[in-house]
């Protein structure tokens, strides 16, 4: 079966040495943008131009432009500055929506690296493209190889070599767009992006919690809570789900249906069990929302983490920011 997103493994080391060369660049003499990747031997390098050497949050800046000598195929590297944490996969999906591209495949290798295949049209000509994104601190690099649709398959492995070999010269200085802050619910520490406001939640004895809210343009756009519950209290993991949903219902949030139910990776954590459930919901004003609810346990306590966010259908950009923050909190619990 053909790999939709190959990485050049069809080439032997000898063929890689013969057919490709390392391309090192410091675009605009800006060391933050320095990079290297393997490119097809003999492809033409075109000059990338921009008004300033710095990245902005509104416009993709061209860094590398390469063209096949006579076949209409291209390889580009562009970059943009990020204002806040979001996953590379979600950024790719949002970029495709804005550009009018039609996604065919998507692979998330980590929250900071995603790879994809898409179709699009330019002046009634159909193209197929390999589109990958890598996040390094507040920089997002996009590697884009594309060719007329009828010629793409012959170049798929070559584009895969470029994607797999791409490496920014400047390594990340911290795991997020900005350094995360360290907080705790009871004695359980976790990390959170810096733009969220933390407020201790009132709770009875045996329970400790902290609320996290995100406000943009004076509007509340995201709400998380991290709560620990002593195992000495008469409860269990399933009861914690129902207790949380009942409390949200009293706040005017009604669950419509369960849309996902999955386990949680516990490797490298102090927890012995856990699961994640996702619900469609709506407010009393009938505004669509999602609830992401995780429950974990160790020998002493249960830990409950929930996110309330506008839904992904109508508010994808808000949803992806909130979803990434939830992933950071959940992935850092107890570490």
Task: For domain 13-168, give the fold.
Answer: Protein Transport Mog1p; Chain A (3.40.1000)
CA–CA gap between residue 83 and residue 139 (Å, rounded)? 9
Domain boundaries, the chain: 13-168, 181-332
- Per-residue pLDDT of the chain in tens (335 residues, 90 and over written 9): 468 999 998 999 999 999 999 999 999 999 999 999 999 999 999 888 888 889 999 999 999 999 999 879 999 999 999 999 999 999 999 999 999 999 999 999 999 999 999 999 999 999 999 999 999 999 999 999 999 999 999 999 999 999 999 999 999 998 889 899 999 999 899 999 999 999 998 888 889 899 999 999 999 999 999 999 999 998 899 999 999 999 999 999 999 999 999 999 888 888 999 999 999 999 999 999 999 999 999 999 999 999 999 999 999 999 999 999 999 999 999 88
Please name which of 47, 30, 24, 144 lies closest in space to residue 81, comparing C-alpha atoms: 30
Please give the CATH architecture assigned to the domain spanning 181-332.
3-Layer(aba) Sandwich (3.40)
Q: Do domains 13-168 and 181-332 have the same CATH topology?
A: yes
**Axis-axis angle for helices 316-332, 88-99 (nearest 10):** 170
């Amino acid at each position: 079966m053909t790999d939709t997103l190959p990485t050049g493994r069809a080439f032997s080391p000898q063929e890689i040495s013969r057919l490709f060369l390392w391309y090192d660049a410091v675009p605009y003499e800006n060391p933050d943008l320095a990079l290297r990747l393997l490119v097809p031997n003999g492809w033409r390098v075109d000059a990338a131009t921009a008004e300033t050497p710095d990245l902005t949050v509104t416009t993709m800046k061209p860094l590398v432009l390469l063209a096949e000598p006579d076949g209409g195929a291209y390889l580009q590297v562009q970059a943009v500055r990020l204002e806040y944490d979001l996953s590379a996969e979600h950024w790719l999906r949002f970029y495709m929506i804005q550009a009018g591209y039609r996604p065919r495949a998507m692979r998330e290798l980590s929250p900071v690296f995603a790879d994809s295949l898409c179709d699009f049209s330019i002046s009634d000509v159909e193209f197929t493209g390999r589109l990958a994104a890598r996040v390094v601190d507040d920089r997002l690099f996009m590697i884009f190889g594309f060719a007329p649709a009828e010629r793409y398959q012959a170049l798929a492995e070559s584009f895969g070599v470029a994607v797999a070999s791409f490496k920014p010269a400047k390594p990340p200085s911290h795991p997020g767009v900005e350094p995360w802050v360290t907080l705790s619910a009871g004695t359980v520490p976790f990390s959170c992006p810096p733009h969220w406001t933390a407020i201790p939640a009132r709770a009875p004895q045996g329970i400790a919690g902290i609320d996290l809210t995100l406000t943009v343009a004076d509007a509340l756009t995201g709400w998380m809570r991290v709560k620990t519950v002593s195992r000495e209290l008469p409860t269990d993991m399933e009861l914690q789900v129902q207790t949380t949903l009942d409390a949200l219902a009293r706040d005017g949030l009604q669950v419509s249906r369960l849309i996902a139910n999955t386990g949680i990776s516990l490797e490298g954590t102090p927890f012995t069990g856990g699961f994640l459930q996702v619900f469609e919901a709506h407010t009393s004003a009938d505004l669509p929302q999602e609830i992401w609810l995780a429950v974990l346990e160790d020998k002493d306590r249960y830990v409950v983490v929930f996110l309330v966010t506008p839904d992904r259908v109508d508010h994808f950009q808000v949803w992806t920011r909130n979803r990434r923050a939830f992933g950071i909190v959940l992935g850092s619990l107890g570490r």
